[in-house]
Amino acid sequence: MTEQTGGRRVVTNMSLSLDGHYARRDPRDMGWVMPYAHTDVARDHLAALHASATTALLGRVNAERFLGFWPTVIGTEGVDPRDEAFAKWLVGTDKVVLSSTLDGVPWERTAIVDKPASDAVADLRSTEGGDILVLSSASVVKALLAADEVDRLALTVLPVFLGDGPRLFDDGLPAAQWDLVSQTAGEHGTLALVYDRVR
């Protein structure tokens, strides 16, 4: 049985290839993800995750990518309503960016935090609010998995082999049991999975 001890949940969201990679050797090459990002299953998956979240937690690189792109979606003619809803959520929610190099950010409702991901999460857990959603920031997700600080693990598995590149799950992670709470198969073989940590 899944048990939540109270307080705020840490929810992580990542896309993975079928052979377990979250990026190609060149992490800027996201072409392998794009054919699947526009499917109903991927859009509905993300909509369900941000519905209960009140804080976005990102690493610097993903913050620059996400916050450079998503605000431009708002008001764009022909945009999928789920994409626009996510963009509005991202702009309007509290954002924490983990960085030791940023001095300031142009994004509203954004705090820069220069500390380990687990310490930042401990600070956020001590405050009121909904879920803390980690958006595709692999370094943050990996650090939180290593510290056993992830309460909900959301994965979108894409039916491709990348062959190489970084992996999400490194050897040496703490032993843990997870309950599958939802699974949805969609177009092109996309699979959305959500697991809750059993504590």
Please report the pLDDT score of residue 163 as a whole number: 93
> Could you give the CA distance from residue 16 to residue 93 in angstroms, rounded to a whole number?
26
The structure's pTM equals 0.92
pLDDT at residue 6 in the model:
55
Q: Sketch out the chain's domains with CATH numbers.
A: 33-163 (3.40.430.10)
Backbone phi, psi, residue 58, to 5°: -135, 155
pLDDT tens-digit readout, 87-129: 999 999 999 999 999 888 888 999 999 999 999 999 999 999 9
Per-residue pLDDT of the chain (199 residues; tens, 9 = 90+): 344 445 899 999 999 999 999 999 887 788 899 889 889 999 999 999 999 999 999 999 889 888 889 999 999 999 999 999 999 999 999 999 999 998 888 889 999 999 999 999 999 999 999 999 999 999 999 999 999 999 999 999 999 999 999 999 989 999 999 999 999 998 889 999 999 999 9
Query: Which position has the token pair 């804080």?
Result: 55
Q: Helices in 38-132 by DSSP H: which ranges?
A: 40-51, 60-69, 81-92, 117-125
